[in-house]
């Protein structure tokens, strides 16, 4: 009989941040199952760092082993997420003092923050908190973002599944358009996420290869949008192929540096809100060429599509959660478990720790050699990088109603020990 792990002193707090993904809950499962194996009690913060500030904590120990295992195939954020960026210690000391109060009140010694660029920054700040305020807390950032724009890590958990969804959607929609192009739609435009980095748009290029295969045009934030070149390429493609599929990142800009789809508002992180680039492009096609068009905006569908998750992505998401707990219990601080690619074919990868200060507030964009000379497609180098990330299927259990059997956690609240916090 395997000996039971001896409990470690203190508790571990896990939180999810930013836009969720099809596999972020697989990371949560990796965290909780690994911590349980080490005898460590795990609390989760309700709605990310806000839950820590509000002392709204969840006792994951109240969940069954089966429920935690089911997180591995359940999309969304099981504990709630948020978009909230901590200011500097000097700018808002009260928030940091409150965090320490909450951590101390519940004997939390390890904090794992699962998110993207802004979340890595928050994780770094909290990792520095103990030294500045005399509390022993170890903080590990855990990678997650569909945008694939975190520095250091080869890829980001969440991206592989969005990439697979985008490539498949591009292929299937193009077959539809090709069927009707003679008497109906000539141009189909798919808008995908990607404010500053075109990784998701690039993944659409896996749908086909060659100038006549869709997508015929990919528009990246890394390249200035050239209206004349775009219209010329659409016209030439329709005349040659009979129809044209375009995939566009939401964040493409004109020569003046303006988003084509700027809505004039900002989100909680101070980022410009984008209002939809696909209809802008569709209007150009209509005005300049007169072609019948359709456009689609998958929006949340692309990051929630667990039925289209890649096995590679699901495996990596779980692995970073597992490694994060192991790093924390070893006493590591201000690090993130990152994915290191060791081979392309066959694809091989491993997990290693990387310093948070090398990741936070940095953004990984598409390398120049991943884009074709005209900036409207992907190269063989990009294909070698992207193709392994969408490999394999991650099957779902289905019920008699024909729908996936996703888990809904009980999320039992931990009793509060402090007065409410106003911020």
CB 389 within 8 A of CB 312: yes
Q: Which secondary structure element, helix H or strand E, spans residue 317, and what is its range?
A: helix 311-329
- The set of residues, in sequence order, having a beta carbon less than 8 Å from that of 77 and lying 6+ positions away, is 16, 20, 24, 25
∠ CA 200-264-223, rounded to 5°: 35
- The set of residues, in sequence order, having a beta carbon less than 8 Å from that of 193 and lying 6+ positions away, is 146, 147, 162, 200, 249, 250, 299, 302, 303
Find where tokens 């390249």 sit: 223
User: How does 393-413 read in b/e, with b if 16+ C-beta sit within 10 Å?
Assistant: ebeeeeeeeeeeebbebeeee
Q: Which residues are catalytic?
A: 147
Q: How many residues does the chain have?
A: 423
| 112: nearest Cα among 339, 338, 409, 327 | 327
The CA R_g of the chain, rounded to the nearest whole Å, is 23
Q: What does residue 249 show for φ and ψ, rounded to 5 degrees? A: -70, 145
**CA–CA dist 68, 28 (Å, integer):** 8
Give the strand order in the sheet containing 57-59.
57-59, 42-45, 11-16, 108-115, 138-143, 335-344, 347-355
């Amino acid at each position: 009989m395997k000996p039971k792990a001896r409990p470690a002193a203190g508790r571990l707090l896990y939180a999810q941040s930013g836009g969720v993904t099809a596999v972020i809950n697989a990371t949560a499962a990796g965290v909780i199952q690994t911590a349980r194996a080490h005898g460590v009690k795990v609390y989760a913060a309700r709605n990310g760092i806000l839950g820590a500030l509000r002392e709204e904590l969840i006792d994951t120990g109240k969940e069954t082993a089966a429920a935690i295992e089911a997180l591995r195939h359940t999309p969304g954020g099981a504990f709630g997420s948020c978009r909230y960026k901590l200011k500097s210690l000097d700018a808002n000391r009260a928030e940091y003092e409150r965090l320490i109060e909450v951590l101390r009140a519940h004997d939390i010694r390890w904090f794992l923050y699962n998110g993207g660029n802004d979340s890595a920054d928050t994780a770094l700040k909290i990792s520095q908190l103990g030294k500045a305020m005399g509390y022993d807390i170890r903080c590990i950032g855990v990678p997650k973002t569909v945008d694939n724009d975190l520095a250091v890590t080869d890829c980001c958990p969440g991206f592989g599944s969005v990439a697979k969804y985008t490539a498949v959607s591009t292929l299937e929609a193009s077959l539809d358009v090709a069927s009707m192009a003679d008497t109906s739609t000539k141009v189909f435009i798919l808008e995908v996420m990607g404010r500053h980095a075109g990784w998701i748009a690039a993944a659409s290029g896996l749908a086909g290869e060659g100038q006549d295969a869709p997508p015929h045009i990919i528009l990246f934030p890394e390249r200035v949008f050239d209206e004349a070149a775009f219209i010329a390429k659409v016209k030439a493609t329709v005349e040659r192929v009979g129809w044209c599929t375009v995939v566009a990142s939401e964040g493409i800009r004109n020569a003046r540096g303006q988003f084509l789809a700027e809505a004039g508002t900002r989100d909680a992180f101070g980022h410009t809100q984008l209002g939809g680039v696909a209809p802008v492009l569709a209007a150009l096609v209509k005005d300049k060429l007169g072609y019948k068009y359709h456009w689609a905006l998958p929006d949340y569908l692309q990051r929630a599509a667990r039925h289209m998750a890649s096995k590679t992505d699901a495996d990596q998401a779980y692995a970073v959660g597992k490694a994060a707990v192991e790093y924390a219990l070893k006493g590591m601080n201000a690090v993130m478990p990152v994915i290191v690619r060791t081979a392309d074919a066959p694809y091989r990868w491993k997990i290693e720790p990387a310093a948070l200060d090398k990741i936070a507030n940095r953004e990984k964009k598409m390398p120049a050699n991943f884009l074709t000379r005209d900036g409207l497609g992907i190269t063989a180098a990009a294909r070698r990088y992207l193709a392994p990330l969408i490999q394999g299927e991650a099957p779902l259990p289905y019920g008699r109603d024909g729908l996936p059997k996703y888990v809904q956690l009980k999320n039992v609240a931990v009793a509060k020990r402090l007065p409410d916090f106003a911020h």
